[in-house]
Structure formats: structure tokens, C-alpha cells
Chains A and B, each alone.
Chain A
Amino acid sequence: MQDETAVIAAAETLNQEALEAIFDEYAPALYKYALRLGVGSQEADQIVGDVFVRLLEKIVEGKGPRTNLRSYLFQIAYHLVVDQARERQRTAPLDVYDFMKEDKESVQAQTEERMLFEKLSEAMESELTEDQRDVIVLRFQEDFSLNETAEIVGKSVNAVKALQNRGVNKLRQCMSRENGGNHG
């Protein structure tokens, strides 16, 4: 997107071209983000729809984004996923990285790298808290800055730093233990 400010200004007037461009730009990223947070493909698609409907409502209310549209949309998606996860915890445990498990059966020859990914995914599911996982996904998979991540999850920058360091340390210990166990 060339000029985000101009696109936001056009979107505020409900310009269809501007809103279509925003959807094309961010819908795939939001879908992947939802999957990375452990949401199924159907639910991720639903979340994408909800994110843009929420954006439209905010624009109509005059409370739409002024800058950093990407961070704004991810923030909406994050809250939707968190709400959905809370709802699911009442009925079924949160199942993280379903897409990796779906692929596991279809892939016949698993490379060493793929095995590492699977271990890492399992470690993220079992070892990390939800806050640590959310911060790590935003920081290292969605490439948000510390400030943006803090804004999205609604925490201070220091808190995000602490969550990030603890999460990475946990993953490092887990991966070292797993690999040591495999080789030992």
C-alpha cells in the first residue's frame, strides 16, 4: 500500500476501492495470524470477516484508525482470537497449530527441519503461556516491533520484553532437552 494515510482517509468516506485494497492487503496476513494462534481454518476465515466488519463499524462511528492500519487490524484480530479461545476453554482445550497436525499425516517424507518445526510447535503449545505465545508470534512471526506488540496485546513494553525473553528461554530449553533426549 503506497500511502496508508491517503487510503485511511478514503476508507473513512466508505470509498469502496480503498476498502477493497485494505482487504486485499491484510486479509491473508490476518488469516495466517489466526492460524498461528491455534485457530482452525474455518474459524480463521470467520475471524478475518469479523475483523473487517469491526473496522467498518469503527469507521462509521468515526473511531477508525488514524495511523498504522496493520497494527490496528491485528489488534482487533488478537482480541477476537482471545475471546474465542476463552469461549472454547469452557468446552474444549485450546488446540494450537492445528495446521501442522493436519499436514503431519499427509507428508510422507519428513525432513529434519520439519521435525524441528513440529517440535517447536508442540513446545509453543505445551510449554508457553498464552501471553508468551501471543508475544512471540507477534514479534518473530508477524514482525511487529516491541511498541506495536505492546499496543496490540495491551501491555507495557517492559512486560512484552519479559514475556518474550521467558518464552524464548522456555522454547530453547525444551528444544535442547528434546534433541538431547533423541540423540542420547
Chain B
Amino acid sequence: MAKNSFEHKDIIKLLSDLKEETPDYPTHMMSSRKAAFMQKVLDTKISGDDQSGGQKGRKAGSKGAGGSGAALKGGTYILGISLRRAIAIGVIILTLTAAYLMRDQIMEFLAENEIINVEETAATPIAPRSVGFETPTPTPNTPTLGGPQNGSSENPEIPGGPGAGEGPGQDSGEKPGAPGAPNNEEPGAAFRFLFCILQLRGLECR
């Protein structure tokens, strides 16, 4: 077959003959490889069966999962109630905060609409008190508190105060009455006093 020039068909024939030279698959290698493959097939089949069984089980489980569903619903219900309570508390806190911050406007509104009778009075300097050894002096022009009153008493009438009806420093020869004790001459003095305090507080807010 030795020749100096090869044709196309000669090369193809040589290639075809060359394949016969390729050694066969060794029997021991092939059998072990086959055993491994068949084991793999078996494992795949078993795992496939398990997966299909698992899917069936999951379907059945979802059908019989009423208990867990009820628990889930109960949890959601409790969460809903808690959320509603939190929202309600939040709204109350916000309302109170807004009322506190806008208290001036609220009081003005109430006064304008005469819901609360607030009388405009002049600035009320607090009556000086006798401190220590200072000689008590009468306070002139102390504004009248307790609503409109007739009379031009120089001494302010402080209802329920010590020595009500008597100015401080006046020596009447009598012991002063008990502090805060209502005067018999004015039975509604205590109520008027409380009302005055309320009015004063309203003015302070302004």
C-alpha cells in the first residue's frame, strides 16, 4: 500500500480502517460504570417517587390544615384589636396635645361665644403681704375682684380672706377670723372666690 501520492478516497479508507485499531471498552470498566449508572437511575426514580408522594402529602396537608388556619386567623384578629387600640390611644394623645398647645385660642373662642363668662379686668397686681417686721400698709387702688360691685371701698374686699371685710392693718380690736372662713354677711363668698380664681387663671392664660 506504500505509495508516494494519496488520493482523497485513500485517506478516507485509511481513516475508516483506523477506527478498527481503537481498543474496545475494557469489560471491568464498562461493568462498573454500568452498575454506577443503574444505581443512579434507581436513586433518581426513588427520589422522584418521594417527591410525587411529598406533593400528594402537601396537598392533603393543605386540605386538613384548618387548625393552623384558625390559629393564623386568631393571631390576625388579636393583632387587629391591638392595632385599633394603639390607633385610638394615639388619636387621644394627639387631641390632648393639640388642645394643650392651642389652649389660648380655645379659651378665646369660648369667651367670645360666652360659653364661659370671663370679665375683662385690668392687670391685677397682687396685694402685698406683710412680711416679717414690715409694717403693713394699705394697698390703694386695689382692683375689685369678684364681679361688679357697688361701693367705693378703699380696702379691697377679699372674700374668705383673713379678716374678711376688714383691710389688713386695721385694728378693730377683734381677733381675725379663721382663714378662709366664710363671712356670715356674704354666704356666697366662697363660691365667688373660687370663681374669681378661675377667672384669674383665665386671664393669666391670656
How many A-B residue pairs have C-beta atoms within 8 angstroms? Tell me: 120
A48 contacts B by Cβ under 8 Å: yes
Q: Is the CB of A45 within 8 A of B40?
A: no
Answer yes or no: B201 CB below 8 A from chain A CBs.
Answer: no
CA separation between A112 and B5, bound complex, in Å?
Answer: 16
Q: Is the interface of A mostly helix, strand, loop or mixed?
A: helix
B65 at the interface (CB under 8 A from A): no
Contact B41 A19 (CB under 8 A): yes
Are A35 and B41 in contact, with the CB atoms below 8 A? no
CA distance A48 to B34 in the complex (A): 10
Q: Does A144 count as interface, using CB distance less than 8 angstroms?
A: no
**A53 interface contact, C-beta 8 A:** yes
Binary interface encoding of chain B residues 16-34 relative to chain A, with 1 for a CB under 8 A from any of its CBs, else 0? 1111011111100110011
State how many angstroms separate the Cβ of B44 from the closest Cβ of chain A: 6
The answer, among B2, B11, B24, B38, for a CB contact under 8 Å with A32, is B24
Interface flag for A2 (CB, 8 Å): no
CB closest chain-B residue, reference A33? B22
Residue of B nearest to A52 (CB): B37
Q: Within 8 Å of chain A (Cβ to Cβ): is B133?
A: no
Minimum-distance CB pairs A-B, first 7: A140-B15, A31-B25, A141-B19, A28-B25, A32-B22, A180-B4, A14-B45
Q: Tell me the B residues contacting A by CB distance below 8 Å.
A: 1-8, 10-12, 14-19, 21-26, 29-30, 33-34, 36-38, 40-42, 44-45, 48
Additional A-B contacts beyond A16-B38, A140-B16, A140-B19 (18; CB < 8 A): A16-B41, A23-B38, A27-B34, A31-B30, A41-B23, A45-B26, A48-B30, A49-B36, A53-B40, A100-B21, A113-B17, A120-B18, A141-B15, A141-B16, A141-B22, A168-B8, A168-B12, A176-B5
